[in-house]
Structure 1
Amino acid sequence: MRDRHRATADPARVRNDRARRVERWVGLMLATALGLSGCATYADLPLDSGAGAADVARLAAPTSNMPLPALSTHRFDAADGLDVAEVAMLAVINNPQLRVKRDELGVARAQAFAAGLLPDPQLALSADFPRQSGAGLSTAYSLGLSEDITALLTRSSRKAAASSQASQVNLDLLWAEWQTVAQARLLFDQVLSMRAQRARLEQEQTALATVTGHIRSALDAGNLTYDSASAGLNAEADVHQRLADTTIALHQAQADLHLLLGLAPTAKLDLVGAPWLGQPTPEQVRAAFDDLPRRRPDLLALQAGYQSQQARVRSAILAQFPALNIGFNTARDTSAVYTNGLGIGITLPLFDRNRGNIAIERATRQQLHDDYTARVLGTRSDMQRISSDLATLDAQLVTLAAHARRLDQARASAEQAWQAGTLDWPTYLAIRGSALGADLDLLSAQLERARQSIALEALLGNTDLAATPPASTQASPP
């Protein structure tokens, strides 16, 4: 009777016992998973206003963060104005696009870290509870541990690919910093050149005001017809139009420089000193031409990207072999019989065999190979062309400077004769117009030479080519 009573125990009590056992098993699994894993926490990152820095004097540019030797030894002090080197230093530190590039480098390094991590093993735990109670019955369970072997086999290739990718992003960042330095130098030169052109046009506008006043007085007195006066009136209108166009171009250059430096549009920017001047020697150009693929960050970045793709091709080839998963398990059935087991899972390579991914990775590698060849060839061609252009511009600057000096002397003599009343105003205006054109042409040619010189230095990948050009090429109009 006692055994019969045990066999017919209260069904509610049996269900409660089973529920408690389920809870213990689930709790054990959760505790095991949480104990083996680390926990990351979430923190909000709100967007900022994007207003830019408003006070240049409060900004700093540590020399330790400079990508170029010429900038790493230059003292940065925004309180006394910014010279061309300080503008380049501030651009490296505060340029918004470079910040994005540095964020991309952080992502690439995180991806390289993730690629080096071992795949997590899989833990499987299950339990079976008899629906009836009786002698010799017990709770059955199964505990298994398995690992993806294929992921282990391809880990080294994936890690090498991600590491090379991070190196490529790092080199791309260095190249972007070099390009930002070049852009900062060019905008510095543009602003100074536009200011010089505006000052020259304002000077001319002031001088023409006296002549046009004389012409209008003669028109009002009836001593001059509008046909005869049109040359003088058009000269004043032409200078006024050119002054407006130059002022607009100056506003654009200043806005571009503010944006490059990450400054607010209303931030005061005091530029001081001479513009950047570079004069690479033919020997330096030839040396850089021969050693180009080993020094240029963009070419080194393409090389790193190609190595990354080589690793991806190897990884895709390794992945064509059957996917293998191996596991071990131990179990107990409801009759309290214990067993140990081995589980192997394999993918049958009948249709896919990863052939599509292999073809994609090989085609991508060929594309990167040809891209690198084209980049090197294009760079060498650009270097040769710019070197020839600089030689032509240097000769042109000598001629323009001498021509501008002669016309400036003629303008000064004509002005004295005009004031003395010994020179008619049409001749005086013609001389002034020729002198103005020569001065503006010289300023434009100087800016073009600076642009080509900065571009050549960026192509050469050499940061120590700055030198003072011959004095004859530095002449500027009064």
Structure 2
Amino acid sequence: MIGCNRGRWIGLMLATLLGVGGCATYADLPLGSGAGVTGVARLSAPTSEMPLPAWSTHRFDPADGLDATEVAMLAVANSPQLRLKRDELGIARAQAFAAGLLPDPQLSVSADVPRRSGAGLVTAYSLGLSEDIGALLTRSSRRAAARDQASQVNLDLLWAEWQTVAQARLLFDQVLNLRAQRGRLEREQQALATVGTYIRAALDAGNLTYDSASAGLNAEADVHKRLADTAVALHQVEGDLHQLLGLAPTAKLDLAGAPYLNQPTPSQVQAALDDLPRRRPDLLALQAGYQSQQAKLRSAILAQFPALNIGFNTARDTSAVYTNGLSIGITLPLFDRNRGNIAIERATRQQLHDDYAVRVLATRSDMQRITRDLATLDGQLATLTAHSQQLDQARASAERAWQAGSLDWPTYLAIRTNALSADLDLLTVQQERARQSIALEALLGNTDLVAAHPDAAKASTP
């Protein structure tokens, strides 16, 4: 009997040592320089890893410039902010793994050595093994909460990827639009240089006063200022695009092709509104977060019951008497009873419930507003396009008359100023229309993007 007990506990100790031997080890992870990638050629966008199935067939070749789709693909693959989101997903999955682990049993060992020797006296010992039963009771709820939390983070990543796609398309359009504005202003500056030379020559000859020449001088100065303001705005947008793609500020970025164009029909918008809670990744993420909180509340309610710890022990006293025993530890639910945690989890659930309702309402309102704005901008674009074409024809006619000497310079400058304002207004409205269109598509959510994501399909199932 003595040998059996001793062999059993020796085996238990060996199992414990073997478990400790499988512990994780530490490895250093040095910090990077944060300099960014110095060239687009060094970046990659694996089509097999793209969130949109349609991109798998798109040819990715930075050598001939980046079109709107290639910029969006690079943003999804290399955005530093998305890298952080993916790190958060790794943490959430690790937490889900930790929540599913069984609590380790507790092993206790003690020994009593007699202070005086005598016949029949031996060293006493006690060995015990116990387990927290309460942790086992709440394990399923904790696992469910952690799984739903990981699903929420995964859906948040999906939504962040779609927002990154929208941001890449918007920045692509803004860069092209500002470059077009810069080109238009540079052409205007070159045309006004001839008029400015004429005005300054007339001033030097005394044929023109400064009061009379102020309109021409101010027109030239105004174009110079607009060109500088456009250059500053272009630097900002190009810097934002470099940062989105994870590029160094000095990396060359060649853009090619037309801006991204999307025009959802009213029926598509209405269908998206009707199906909004089952297709928008951020709403699906809120649903998963709410389910996680439901599980946390259930776990807190289960934890209000008395904590129970059960153990078994074997002992030998100094007289060499062997005993086996059972120990039970129970928390008396007199004061705490986990009421504080239950109240916190219940209030948190209510907050998430209301947050979801607010998000859905805000999304529906934004979609309706943007739809109306797009209709207004379409009408404004048609008017401005016709107006700009008419003034461009007038400018070309005035330029020929000015060169022929049959038109005075104040009239010529007035016609050029009006034509420039119309062209810049048209470019501004085109950019605003593109911004609203991209924003609407982001609010609608992409069907292919959601359908291809397993957590989205799971969360959208009633």
Do both proteins adopt the same fold according to a TM-score greater than 0.5, normalized to the shorter chain? yes
Kept in 2: contact 1:328–1:343 (CA 8 A): yes
CA distance in 2, matches of 1:34, 1:229: 95
Which deviations, in whole Å up to 9, do the C-alpha atoms of 1:404-460 show, x marking residues without a partner? 000000000000000010000000000000000000000000000000000000000
2:38 is the alignment partner of 1:35: no
Of residues 155, 159, 181, the one that matches 1:175 is 159
Kept in 2: contact 1:59–1:78 (CA 8 A): no
2:420 is the alignment partner of 1:436: yes
2:50 is the alignment partner of 1:66: yes
CA distance in 1, matches of 2:448, 2:257: 19
* Aligned ranges 1:192-211 → 2 under 5 Å: 192-211=176-195
Query: 1:107 aligns to what?
Result: 91
SS at match of 2:157: helix
Kept in 1: contact 2:293–2:349 (CA 8 A): yes
Which deviations, in whole Å up to 9, do the C-alpha atoms of 1:230-250 show, x marking residues without a partner? 000000000000000000000
What is the deviation of 1:263?
A: 0.2
> What amino acid does structure 2 have at the position aligned with 1:313?
L
2:141 is the alignment partner of 1:187: no
What is the deviation of 1:143?
A: 1.0
* Aligned ranges 1:81-160 → 2 under 5 Å: 81-160=65-144
Query: 2:229 aligns to what?
Result: 245
Between 241-250 and 32-41, the greater mean CA deviation after superposition: 32-41
Kept in 2: contact 1:169–1:301 (CA 8 A): yes
Which deviations, in whole Å up to 9, do the C-alpha atoms of 1:28-54 show, x marking residues without a partner? 997553223322111000001011111
> What amino acid does structure 1 have at the position aligned with 2:304?
Q
> What amino acid does structure 1 have at the position aligned with 2:16?
A
Q: Percent identity at matched positions?
A: 82
Kept in 2: contact 1:56–1:268 (CA 8 A): yes
> What amino acid does structure 1 have at the position aligned with 2:233?
A
**Consecutive aligned runs of 4 or more in structure 1 exceeding 6 Å deviation:** 26-30
2:281 is the alignment partner of 1:297: yes
Q: CA RMSD in A?
A: 1.5
CA distance in 1, matches of 2:332, 2:42: 66
* Aligned ranges 1:324-403 → 2 under 5 Å: 324-403=308-387
CA distance in 2, matches of 1:136, 1:57: 85
For structure 1, the residue ranges without an aligned partner over 5 or more in a row are 1-25, 466-478
For structure 2, the residue ranges without an aligned partner over 5 or more in a row are 1-8, 450-462
SS at match of 2:172: helix
What is the deviation of 1:70?
A: 3.4
Kept in 1: contact 2:279–2:447 (CA 8 A): no
* Aligned ranges 1:206-285 → 2 under 5 Å: 206-285=190-269
CA distance in 1, matches of 2:405, 2:166: 51
SS at match of 1:76: coil
Query: 2:455 aligns to what?
Result: none
Of residues 451, 473, 477, the one that matches 2:435 is 451
CA distance in 1, matches of 2:166, 2:306: 52
* Aligned ranges 1:400-419 → 2 under 5 Å: 400-419=384-403
What is the deviation of 1:133?
A: 2.4
CA distance in 2, matches of 1:365, 1:36: 39
CA distance in 2, matches of 1:463, 1:434: 45
